[in-house]
Structure 1
Amino acid sequence: MILKLKKGLIGIEKQQKNKMKFIKPKIIISKCLEFEACRYDGQIINNQYIEKLKKFIDFNPICPEVEIGMGIPRDTIRIIENKEKRMLYQPETNKDYSNNMDLFSKNYLKKIEDIDGFILKANSPSCGVNSAKIYPKKNDVPPYKRGNGFFANHIVSMFPNHPIEEEKRLNNSILREHFYTAIFTLADFKTVSNFNTLYKYHAKHKYLFMAHNQTLMRKMGNIAANKNNETIEKIKKKYYNSLLLLLSKKARYPSNINTQMHVMGYFKKLISAKEKKHFLETLGLYRNKRTPASAVNSILYSWIFRFENEYLMKQSFFNPFPYELIQKQESRFD
């Protein structure tokens, strides 16, 4: 069975390579991650996932500290936060970089267009997302909580519901695949230029949307239907905001099961009783968290090509991002 599945996977990869085309997501990334030795200690951070992503993503590297005139290497900075104010403070020099960082962040981010997501440096006082150490005062005291860095705080405020990840969280396969799914789905929205392309986009991602949030999927379908005869620009904005909200949370396994059952419905009159029994048994294992969703999807995907269902071949639910980005030991089809 394993050998047959692995052989099938090779075929699936070839099919995706031949049929699936992906728009490159536009991602803002902390420059010290794989791009330049610009950390406070003059080092660069290597990351296998970011290195692999370079082929598939249009990266825009930025180092907020360097942009506001801090050197490489440089004395460390920290966030001071109390009832009085929030400060980006450099203990060695007694300098306050708060205004400089706030001004840079606002000016830089307001010029950004068509951005699909962010990959930021964990624990950084500028870029950390809920991970930057926050101190109660300037004195030599321990941090009392963690939160957003100065630059990251502006990103969260100005780009609500956009995909944001830290490089360390990419080590988690579930978080990583959710991030990849979100950024490539958002990038694909750039193909929408009129109502016809919007309908095609919605149809292509129907089952992916269903797996994330069926209520929002229906709402987006109603938006695309444009019953009030609004302009494509207004409809795109409404649809996009709902899309961001839908992709802001991971698909949960009950929704995945519902989606998988919908897809199975296309083949219930075409498959044998034994095949249906095997599928339902595998689905039961997934329901009980004893096998991954990819085990169920691999069965469905084999039927899609066996029965040449062109509509389902195009569904991003099965191929939300390039197969080359799947880690072999954590493959969606393992």
Structure 2
Amino acid sequence: MLDVAATSKPRIAISACLSGHSVRYNGGHKASELCREQLEQHFDWLPVCPEVAIGLGVPRDPIRLVGDPDHPAVVSTRNPGMDLTGPLRSYGEQMANELNDICGYIFMQKSPSCGLARVKVYQDNGHPAPQGGTGVYAGAFCALRPDLPVEEEGRLHDPVLRENFISRVYAYADWQHLLSEGLSRGALVRFHSRYKYLLMANNPHAYRQLGRLLGSMSRDDDPQVIGPRYFSALMQALRRCASRGTHGNVLQHLSGYFKGALTQQDKAELAHIIDQYQQGFVPLVVPLTLLKHYLRKHPDPYLLQQAYLQPHPDSLGLRNAV
């Protein structure tokens, strides 16, 4: 299994107010207990406040989105003639080009600069449009970094979304490590082999597509060309959250590796535990713990390398609640 706990901390950009910096319009912050108490020991935070970065003071007049929800402008609520759209968009593009060492980004929800979705966009009648928008800084940043794992802090309180986001952060970090060592045809195939079952759990259709992409790769194909295509498709596929059904399918595949090693009683117990998980009676950590127990007793080199078995440090406890 991948020893993700022994790797260096992945660096994650985070809205500065979430990390406890007093940079909000009212001089306060929105310190995230989840980020500061549960995640901080595992990640290296990079706090960013685009509003302060473009020269707005603390405290300051609040800002809001106005106009077309698909292409909103950012203005001061007390001085609508003060259009901040251009500076915030430019700073988002600048950061997207400069922050090459991050493996994820956690944004402040509902923010006209940093919100990823459902941000209020006010109309001429003074009411927000039914359709929400995206913060201008976040929109500009994400447009240039489509493969980077991003999420809003509020959504991370959902255990399934949290586990999915952090799995993607570690996958991104793993790919960055691979690139630093040199991308070869063999390295690309080995990387895909490690992520086979994680991909199968999140997106079975993409699992088959990416398998065909690499399976059709010839000796003449340049890994420097195919590699980025593969990784972009992988990161998009992993955005889809695994379900109990797809996890159960993967667990059954993994249990098949022990067919010749387990007693009938052991097989029946493992099948029962997987069924209990699929029915929602136990969390994912229960069947995984039993599978890892059998893997220690009956080591299999192919299974031992699988990212699915440990996509993030066990100490995060992410699979105790999914």
User: Are 2:283 and 1:299 aligned?
Assistant: no
Give the corresponding residue for 1:257: 248
Q: Secondary structure at the match of 1:208?
A: helix
Q: Structure 1 residues 16 and 239 mapped into 2: Cα distance closer, same or farther (>3 Å)? A: closer
Aligned to 1:125: 112
Q: Give the TM-score of the pair, scaled to structure 2.
A: 0.88
Alignment CA distance shift 1:79-1:100 (3 Å): same
CA contact (8 A) 1:135 1:145 kept: no
Cα offset for 1:248?
Answer: 1.5
Please tell me the residue identity of whatever aligns with 1:57: F
Give the deviation of 1:172 after TM superposition: 1.2
Taking a change above 3 Å as real, the CA distance of residues 262 and 81 of structure 1, as seen in their structure-2 partners, is: same
Partner of 1:202 in structure 2? Answer: 192
Rounded to whole Å, the distance in 2 between the matches of 1:234 and 1:39 is 43
Give 1:312's aligned amino acid.
L
Unaligned ranges ≥5, structure 2: none
**Aligned-residue RMSD, C-alpha:** 2.6
Cα deviation 1:147-170 (Å, max 9, x = unaligned): 211112223322235322111111
Equivalent in the alignment of 2:9: 24
Alignment of 1:111-150 (within 5 A): 111-113=98-100, 115-137=102-124, 140-141=126-127, 144-150=130-136
| Alignment match, 1:9 | none
1:58 match: 44
Matches for 1:150-299 after TM superposition, within 5 Å: 150-192=136-178, 193=182, 194-225=184-215, 226-227=217-218, 229-299=220-290
Q: Do the aligned partners of 2:118 and 2:133 also contact (CA within 8 Å) in 1?
A: yes
**Further displaced range: 162-171 or 45-54:** 45-54
Give the fraction of aligned pairs with identical amino acids, expressed as a percent. Answer: 27
Amino acid at match of 1:331: N
| 1:254-302 alpha-carbon deviations (Å, 9 max, x no partner) | 2222211111111112112122112222222222233323222222111
Q: Does the Cα contact within 8 Å between 1:305 and 1:313 map onto a contact in 2? A: no
TM-score by length of 1: 0.85
| Residue 90 of structure 1, CA deviation | 0.8
Q: Does 1:75 align with 2:61?
A: yes
CA distance 1:20–1:263, change in 2 (3 Å): farther
Which among 63, 84, 89 is matched to residue 97 of structure 1?
84
